[in-house]
Amino acid sequence: MVGIQIFSLFFSKFHAQTISMFRSFLLAFFLSIWSNFSFAQRQPSILITYYSQSGNTKAMAEAIFEGATSVSGVVPKIRPIEEVSTQDLLDANAIIFGSPVYNSNVAPEVLEFMNSWPFEGRPLKNKLGAAFATGGGISIGEEGVMLDILRGMLIHGMIVLGGDQVEASFGASGVTGESPFDSGQLDPLFLEKGRGLGRRVAETAKRFQE
């Protein structure tokens, strides 16, 4: 009888310890999941979007994406404007937007896209914004296109940024149709400006999130 009581007491303590250990394991497991989820939620999202006719603006967007992905703790996304929804704009902490030069202006498709951005209540206010452009000549309108995009962002209350060097003060731009840059493709010099813009926006978005 005494042996049974001792066994029962031992079993009860063992059972209680097992339950306690199991509860501790479950708590640690769910805390780990929640911590990872919260960290992912805190990571700023950077939307890189563009309209491209010849593929050069797309190439610049890809260089910007490469620069942004070199910064840890951010979530860059790249997609053409026709694949961007209003929710994509609202979810982004930063928007980097590019257009080819069209008669010294932004492309009509780009203007239409920007005019579709939500304005009521200014939901894009305080998001970071930056611009990039590509064109066929050195003085054919790249800077004007970037300024048009930045002005549009400022109307929405966004905080605009330039590149990481003085030669990219208004954003990243490149030319493809004028010597010595007449190969039809963006020179590495211009692509590096794109990477610098992506890095700067990503680093700034990360600091804003901290």
User: Each residue of 140-192: pLDDT tens digit?
Assistant: 999 999 999 999 999 999 999 999 999 999 999 999 988 899 888 999 999 99
Phi-psi region of 140 (alpha: psi -120 to 50; beta: other; left: phi over 0): alpha
pLDDT tens for residues 139-148? Answer: 899 999 999 9
Q: Closest Cα partner for 185 from 98, 63, 56?
A: 56
Domain 44-209 has CATH 3.40.50.360: yes
Q: Closest Cα partner for 204 from 167, 162, 157, 170?
A: 162
**The tokens 């010597």 sit on which residue?**
179
pTM: 0.80
Three-class secondary structure of residue 173 per DSSP = strand
User: For residue 38, what are the contacts with CB-CB under 8 A and spacing of at least 6?
Assistant: none
Lookup: tokens for 75? 């979530």
Q: What residue spans define the domains of the chain?
A: 1-42, 44-209
